[in-house]
Amino acid sequence: MLANLIGELAKRRITNQELADLLGIHRNSVSNKLYGVSEFTLREAITIYDKYFSDCDFRWLFTHAAA
């Protein structure tokens, strides 16, 4: 799970649908990627970072929470 990214999305009121539209994928795919069912590609991660989170540390934002 990408807890840091999920938290930042919530704080900034960015929806899964907004991310889906940005990435050109289904909102369920975004949810799967946020919760560790699948992974964001590097290109997707950079796109999200550049659009919404350039003020955050990239590695921190996309680090998976310990299980």
- Domain ranges for the chain: 3-61
Instruction: Write down the pTM of the prediction.
Output: 0.92
Model confidence at 65, pLDDT cuts 50, 70, 90, reads: confident
What is the CB-side half-sphere exposure of residue 26 using CA atoms within 13 A?
3
**Whole-angstrom distance, CA of residue 16 vs CA of residue 4:** 15
For residue 60, how far is the Cα from the chain centroid?
12
pLDDT of res. 67: 58
Tell me the average pLDDT of the chain.
Answer: 96
DSSP secondary-structure letter at 51? H
- pLDDT tens, position by position, 28-53: 999 999 999 999 999 999 999 999 99
CATH code of the domain made up of 3-61:
1.10.260.40
Instruction: Please state the rounded mean pLDDT for residues 9-38.
Output: 98
